[in-house]
A and B are shown apart, each in its own frame.
Chain A
Amino acid sequence: MTPISLRILKALALAGAASLVLVACGGGGGNNSTSLASNQTLSFPILSDFGTLDPAVADAETDQEIQQNIFDGLVRFDQNLNIIADLATAVPTASSDGLTYNFTLRKDVTFSNGDKFTSKDVLYSWNRAAAMQGAYATNLSAIDGYSTVSTNKVSGAALETLLEKNDPSVTLKGLTAPDPYTVQVKLASPAGWFLTAISLAGSTGWIVDQNAVKQDFDNWWTNPATAIGTGPFKMTARVPKQSVDFAAVPNWWGSPKPTLTKVHLDVSVNDASTAITKYEQGGYDAVGYGGYSSLPVADILRIQGTSNEKAQLLLQPKVRTYWVSFNMVHDAKRQAGGPFLLADGQAAHDIRLAFALAVDKTKLVSVVCQDIVCTAATGGLIPPTLIGYMGANQDPLAKFDATKAKQLLQSADPSGTKTKGLTYTYDPENALNKPTAEFLQSQWHDNLGVDVSIAPVSHSQFIQARLKGAYALSRDGWQADYNHPQDWFDNLWGKFVGCPDSGCSTGYDTAAYDTLLAKADAEPMPAALADYKSLNQMLIDDVVYIPLYYSVGSFLTKPYVKGFGSNSFFDHYWNQVQILSH
């Protein structure tokens, strides 16, 4: 080998490397201003593609965060979670018997394809949603005739045919339209939660355009040409699992008129840390939105330590509560058994209470959440900002009293045989669930002397098994669907949800609970609140759960993005967002 040939090789290698780096690298930078940028495009990632944008069957937070900008309901939540008029001219009040609501519709509303919005669209959307039986079909369950429509088994084009001819099998009896701009809703029985349930964004109470839907009954929303709503934005392009683009609807009927001209969702990045890196490079304007507000704790800590990015971080308490559930019923269908059964009386009650008091919730929040991504659940099951929150430190199950816990356990299980061989089961997909399980295990060991095994089970399998009563001790939690306590107490305990044997984590069902729940559900809100708090007190008295924490969402937003943020429930609407010069 001559020196010349080596020099050639070296030169080639260096030139190759240099050209690669030059080709590959880009630029960035920015400053602040109060004037609007010429490019009004908002770009942010969602860490997984949405499941559907069809309000009749949507059931994921991401779906609803997007849908709230494309569709409308007759009523919706404002940023403070108050119910306000949307496609209706005003929020209606119930008749004196609590059974009838009359909605007067706005006359200036059009769908993004130019179709006029009338009462016919409300009837079509709600009948369709009730007949399709998606996850949130029960939001319409108070309407007279729902029990008939909910038995529908017809789907697809055949269902469209039935809907077009107003077939009684798919028509809610209590839903009528006296004229094109009036909708009358008659409930089967009083339901104080009805208006709140139909306010849920992107869900069964929201309105679709029959002309668009009937072109492809199941998948109309996948095609920008038929993904039509009355909202301020419309879909313009979609590459599944890669990106979705939305554009502002020209001359939109509502207000405020959107300033953004385009919203670009990147669906290609699944990893939150990668998304944050791209945000820091200027590749996104925001991160954490669209239902992915669980940014990694390590990244949040790092950002909090920076001078320039710290102000871009928003930590927002969200409407999710986590707790531990006991299996409280053992029968032919619920196999878990265990020492926590309601039928075993005071001794089982004391064991449950011992397990609850033995957990130091303040330390849990510090160890598991670094005091950042969750706060101790001391105010009952319903988190702060929601109706039904009991107030800080009002839940006695949230207290930590290792001495009392030990005493209770010794009197209820002196030999330790009842609590031997227990397992706490959790789903590891949520990054906090494993450290929580390990923390609980150590607390029960240290403070009670009880050795509890921990067992991870994949989320889908875990939920299926837990709702069948397969676990004596398990991770549990709930994210509010709407701002009403009925959402919690109907869906988690008592015979309404199917307890003890169907769709019920604990099996908890007592006559007193069911009676009070039925009364509360029928009452309008101020009167119902006391009853719902009594229901939470019943759960406390019977030690049905061990409260752990309320979650805190984390968001990053560039300083030049004005108006974007999140309340405890949902992201701010896109038509309130502006991009400033930068």
Chain B
Amino acid sequence: MLSRGTLIYISQRLVLIVFTVLAVSSIVFLGIHRLPGDALFNEHLHGTQYELLLHHYGLDRPLWDQYTSFLSGLLLHGNLGESLVNRGVPITPLVLRELTVSAEVGLFALVFTIGLGMLLGVVAAIRQNTWVDYLLTTTSVIGYSMPSFVIATFLILIFAVWLDNFTQGTFYFQIGWTGRFGTIGEIWLPAFALGFPYASIVARLTRASMLEVIRQDYIRTARAKGLRETVIMVRHALRNALIPVITILGPLVIGIITGGVIIENIFGIPGLGKEFATSILNRDYNIVIGVFTMYAAMIGLANLGVDLMYVVIDPRIRY
């Protein structure tokens, strides 16, 4: 049960998120209209025909007029308008659907990041200065030294191409996204590619933190009491070692969310990240604004979630 103070804190943060989202979407709205070029003009469509289309989308109106229409649509109806490139496609349901796709991949990536990172960190700490430690530490260094798009390309090469060839097409990673929600088979590799660099950071941090904690007096006391090593590590050492890890969870979640821009394009995942890239290239103003709005909301909520985790992990923290 959340305390009253925590509920007030959450309410305050939610209000702040709303204002942040509005600010971000307004800045993007004003900025994107300053970009040269637009979505409608092409070699076949210019002159009067082009002007008619501008009028159809209201793009011939003064910017301030367009901005107030945009704001009222967003605030009163949650309406982000219609795509300029793909006619008749309403943006709010589109980006909401894409948000769920990105969130799905992001959550799996987070599981990889935390699960794999902590596992590697704990093992490396427990087996300090052994070949296991050296192997895991080297893997971590490779992980956070390589950009996610390089990792993704290698993973596709290994699991989608080489494995396919090697097993004569009986055993491989199938690229693509077939339904409304992805399957584990479609998600695990992109999620791994997205999460692995961050897992390496978590592993390094966990290892350092664990090494510090397992030398504490209370760990020695626990051993003296005759507790099993697993209980000591999981209940006493790991829980305390987690606090520094949690502190980097905020920027880490943001990294995973924004990292989707590259990973989704490489793996052909129809999420917000892929939309982000294509809509900017296409100058599809309305979708760009919609995507940024969703990103702002997602990052705001993710940060709030991380802050609330402190309360769970560290009883000393109260809001």
Q: Which residues in A have their C-beta under 8 angstroms from that of B188?
A: 20, 23-24
Question: How many of chain B's residues have a CB under 8 angstroms from any CB in A?
Answer: 66
Answer yes or no: B144 CB below 8 A from chain A CBs.
Answer: no
Answer yes or no: A18 CB below 8 A from chain B CBs.
Answer: no
Q: Which residues in A have their C-beta under 8 angstroms from that of B159?
A: 25
Report yes or no: B177 in contact with A24, Cβ–Cβ below 8 A.
Answer: no
Report yes or no: B174 in contact with A281, Cβ–Cβ below 8 A.
Answer: yes
Bound CA span A143–B184, Å? 58
Report yes or no: B268 in contact with A133, Cβ–Cβ below 8 A.
Answer: no
Bound CA span A462–B43, Å? 11
Report yes or no: B171 in contact with A27, Cβ–Cβ below 8 A.
Answer: yes
B79-130 contacts to A (CB < 8 Å) = 83, 85-89, 94, 97-98, 119, 122-123, 126-127
Bound CA span A8–B230, Å? 10
Q: Is the interface of A mostly helix, strand, loop or mixed?
A: loop
Of all chain B residues, the one with the shortest Cβ separation from A8 is B230
A308-360 contacts to B (CB < 8 Å) = none
In the assembled complex, how far is the CB of residue A98 from the closest CB belonging to chain B, in whole angstroms? 26
Of all chain B residues, the one with the shortest Cβ separation from A136 is B44
Answer yes or no: A251 CB below 8 A from chain B CBs.
Answer: no
Report yes or no: B44 in contact with A270, Cβ–Cβ below 8 A.
Answer: no
When the two chains form the complex, which single residue of B47, B87, B168, B175 contacts A281, counting CB atoms closer than 8 Å?
Answer: B175
Q: Which residues in B have their C-beta under 8 angstroms from that of A267?
A: 270
Of B195-203, B273-281, B301-309, which stretch is located at the interface?
B273-281
Q: Which residues in B have their C-beta under 8 angstroms from that of A275?
A: 268
Q: Which residues in B have their C-beta under 8 angstroms from that of A9?
A: 119, 122-123
Q: Which residues in B have their C-beta under 8 angstroms from that of A281?
A: 160, 164, 169, 172, 174-175
In the assembled complex, how far is the CB of residue A276 from the closest CB belonging to chain B, in whole angstroms? 10
When the two chains form the complex, which single residue of B39, B163, B177, B265 contacts A270, counting CB atoms closer than 8 Å?
Answer: B265
Report yes or no: B184 in contact with A24, Cβ–Cβ below 8 A.
Answer: yes
In the assembled complex, how far is the CB of residue A131 from the closest CB belonging to chain B, in whole angstroms? 10
Answer yes or no: B256 CB below 8 A from chain A CBs.
Answer: no
Answer yes or no: A451 CB below 8 A from chain B CBs.
Answer: no
Q: Which residues in A have their C-beta under 8 angstroms from that of B275?
A: 241
When the two chains form the complex, which single residue of A5, A153, A242 contacts B233, counting CB atoms closer than 8 Å?
Answer: A5
Report yes or no: A24 in contact with B164, Cβ–Cβ below 8 A.
Answer: no
Of A190-198, A214-222, A562-570, which stretch is located at the interface?
A214-222
When the two chains form the complex, which single residue of A135, A266, A461 contacts B45, counting CB atoms closer than 8 Å?
Answer: A135
Bound CA span A462–B38, Å? 11
In the assembled complex, how far is the CB of residue B200 from the closest CB belonging to chain A, in whole angstroms? 16
Bound CA span A1–B211, Å? 13
Q: Which residues in B have their C-beta under 8 angstroms from that of A458?
A: 36-37
Contact A1-B233, Cβ < 8 Å, known A241-B94, A464-B37: yes
Q: Which residues in A have their C-beta under 8 angstroms from that of B289?
A: none
Answer yes or no: A534 CB below 8 A from chain B CBs.
Answer: no
Report yes or no: B229 in contact with A464, Cβ–Cβ below 8 A.
Answer: no
Contact A222-B89, Cβ < 8 Å, known A25-B171, A242-B177, A460-B38: yes
Report yes or no: A219 in contact with B233, Cβ–Cβ below 8 A.
Answer: no
Contact A1-B229, Cβ < 8 Å, known A241-B94, A268-B268: yes
Report yes or no: A153 in contact with B87, Cβ–Cβ below 8 A.
Answer: no
Answer yes or no: A250 CB below 8 A from chain B CBs.
Answer: no
Bound CA span A266–B174, Å? 14
Bound CA span A467–B163, Å? 50
Answer yes or no: B250 CB below 8 A from chain A CBs.
Answer: no
Of B4-12, B18-26, B48-56, B68-76, which stretch is located at the interface?
B48-56
Answer yes or no: B245 CB below 8 A from chain A CBs.
Answer: no
Q: Which residues in A have their C-beta under 8 angstroms from that of B38?
A: 460
Q: Which residues in B have their C-beta under 8 angstroms from that of A283?
A: 174-176
Report yes or no: A137 in contact with B49, Cβ–Cβ below 8 A.
Answer: yes
When the two chains form the complex, which single residue of A26, A133, A218, A241 contacts B87, counting CB atoms closer than 8 Å?
Answer: A218
Q: Which residues in A have their C-beta under 8 angstroms from that of B164?
A: 28, 280-281
Answer yes or no: B267 CB below 8 A from chain A CBs.
Answer: yes
Of all chain B residues, the one with the shortest Cβ separation from A282 is B169
Of all chain A residues, the one with the shortest Cβ separation from B271 is A268
Inter-chain contact count A-B, CB under 8 Å?
174
Q: Which residues in A have their C-beta under 8 angstroms from that of B230?
A: 5, 8
Q: Which residues in B have their C-beta under 8 angstroms from that of A2?
A: 229
Contact flags A493-511 to B (C-beta < 8 A → 1, else 0): 0000010001100000000
Of all chain A residues, the one with the shortest Cβ separation from B115 is A16
Report yes or no: B175 in contact with A274, Cβ–Cβ below 8 A.
Answer: yes
Q: Which residues in A have their C-beta under 8 angstroms from that of B184?
A: 20, 23-24
Bound CA span A20–B42, Å? 47
When the two chains form the complex, which single residue of A269, A429, A461 contacts B36, counting CB atoms closer than 8 Å?
Answer: A461
Contact A25-B41, Cβ < 8 Å, known A242-B177, A277-B161: no
Q: Which residues in A have their C-beta under 8 angstroms from that of B87?
A: 51-52, 54, 57, 218-219
Answer yes or no: B189 CB below 8 A from chain A CBs.
Answer: yes
When the two chains form the complex, which single residue of B49, B156, B170 contacts A277, counting CB atoms closer than 8 Å?
Answer: B156
When the two chains form the complex, which single residue of B119, B169, B270 contacts A242, counting CB atoms closer than 8 Å?
Answer: B270
Answer yes or no: A414 CB below 8 A from chain B CBs.
Answer: no
In the assembled complex, how far is the CB of residue A316 from the closest CB belonging to chain B, in whole angstroms? 23
Contact flags A463-490 to B (C-beta < 8 A → 1, else 0): 1100100000000001001000000000
Bound CA span A6–B173, Å? 30
Report yes or no: A498 in contact with B265, Cβ–Cβ below 8 A.
Answer: no
Q: Which residues in B have their C-beta under 8 angstroms from that of A280?
A: 161, 164
Report yes or no: B49 in contact with A269, Cβ–Cβ below 8 A.
Answer: no
Report yes or no: B119 in contact with A13, Cβ–Cβ below 8 A.
Answer: yes
Answer yes or no: A103 CB below 8 A from chain B CBs.
Answer: no
Bound CA span A13–B132, Å? 14
A100-130 contacts to B (CB < 8 Å) = none
Contact flags B212-235 to A (C-beta < 8 A → 1, else 0): 000000000000000001100100
Answer yes or no: A541 CB below 8 A from chain B CBs.
Answer: no
Report yes or no: B88 in contact with A219, Cβ–Cβ below 8 A.
Answer: yes
In the assembled complex, how far is the CB of residue B37 from the closest CB belonging to chain A, in whole angstroms? 3
Q: Which residues in A have their C-beta under 8 angstroms from that of B177?
A: 242, 268
Answer yes or no: A459 CB below 8 A from chain B CBs.
Answer: yes
Contact flags A566-577 to B (C-beta < 8 A → 1, else 0): 000000000000
Answer yes or no: B257 CB below 8 A from chain A CBs.
Answer: no
Report yes or no: A26 in contact with B185, Cβ–Cβ below 8 A.
Answer: yes
Of all chain B residues, the one with the shortest Cβ separation from A219 is B88
Of all chain B residues, the one with the shortest Cβ separation from A462 is B37
Report yes or no: A134 in contact with B49, Cβ–Cβ below 8 A.
Answer: yes
Bound CA span A463–B268, Å? 29
Answer yes or no: B283 CB below 8 A from chain A CBs.
Answer: yes
Report yes or no: B160 in contact with A277, Cβ–Cβ below 8 A.
Answer: yes
Answer yes or no: B318 CB below 8 A from chain A CBs.
Answer: no
Report yes or no: A25 in contact with B163, Cβ–Cβ below 8 A.
Answer: yes
Answer yes or no: B261 CB below 8 A from chain A CBs.
Answer: no
Q: Which residues in B have their C-beta under 8 angstroms from that of A51?
A: 85-87
In the assembled complex, how far is the CB of residue B28 from the closest CB belonging to chain A, in whole angstroms? 18
**What would 23 A/B residue contacts be, using CB atoms closer than 8 Å?**
A9-B119, A25-B171, A25-B172, A25-B174, A26-B185, A27-B169, A28-B169, A29-B170, A218-B87, A240-B86, A240-B94, A266-B176, A268-B274, A270-B274, A278-B175, A280-B161, A460-B36, A460-B37, A460-B41, A463-B43, A464-B41, A478-B43, A502-B47
Contacts A1-B233, A460-B283 known; list 5 others, CB within 8 Å.
A155-B56, A222-B88, A241-B86, A280-B161, A460-B38
A interface list, Cβ under 8 A from B: 1-2, 5-6, 8-9, 13, 20, 23-29, 48-52, 54, 57, 59, 133-137, 150, 153, 155, 218-219, 221-222, 239-242, 266-271, 274-275, 277-278, 280-283, 429, 458-464, 467, 478, 481, 498, 502-503
Q: Which 10 A-B pairs have the closest CB atoms?
A: A460-B37, A461-B37, A269-B268, A219-B88, A28-B169, A135-B44, A268-B270, A461-B36, A135-B45, A222-B88
